[in-house]
Amino acid sequence: MTTTLTPTWTAVCAVSDILPDTGVCARIDGRHVAIFRIGDDRFYAIDNVDPQSGASVLSRGLTGSLGGRTVVASPLYKNHFDLATGECLEAPQHSVRAHAVRVEGDRVLVALA
């Protein structure tokens, strides 16, 4: 017997609560999650805790592009995290978890990985 888990989607904020090319932090089931809006219509979510410092700060990092990847730079150690995968480009052992994001109407929803 195969069991398929259906993701649990949590509404975290309104689309308008996230300015383009910035992030916000939400706490979902006790986990700190950074949700980013890139341009007007691309949304990403990764763990918000910087693995090197343990501080919940990735949502405050600067977003941009590096080597064709959409990234956020940690405000503390300046490591770059791929917003689609959570991979830390400088030190893969410091990668974070990426989460699914979708928009329904004017709400941003996240499903933890």
User: 112: closest CA among 92, 97, 93?
Assistant: 97
**Domain 16-111, CATH 2.102.10.10 — does that match?**
yes
Q: What is the pLDDT of residues 51-62, one digit of tens each?
A: 999 999 999 999
Residue 14 bridge partners (DSSP): 107
Tell me, what's the pLDDT at 63?
97
Q: Is the pTM of this model over 0.85?
A: yes
Instruction: Sketch the domain layout of the chain as residue ranges.
Output: 16-111
Interval 9-39: pLDDT, tens: 999 999 999 999 999 999 999 999 999 999 9
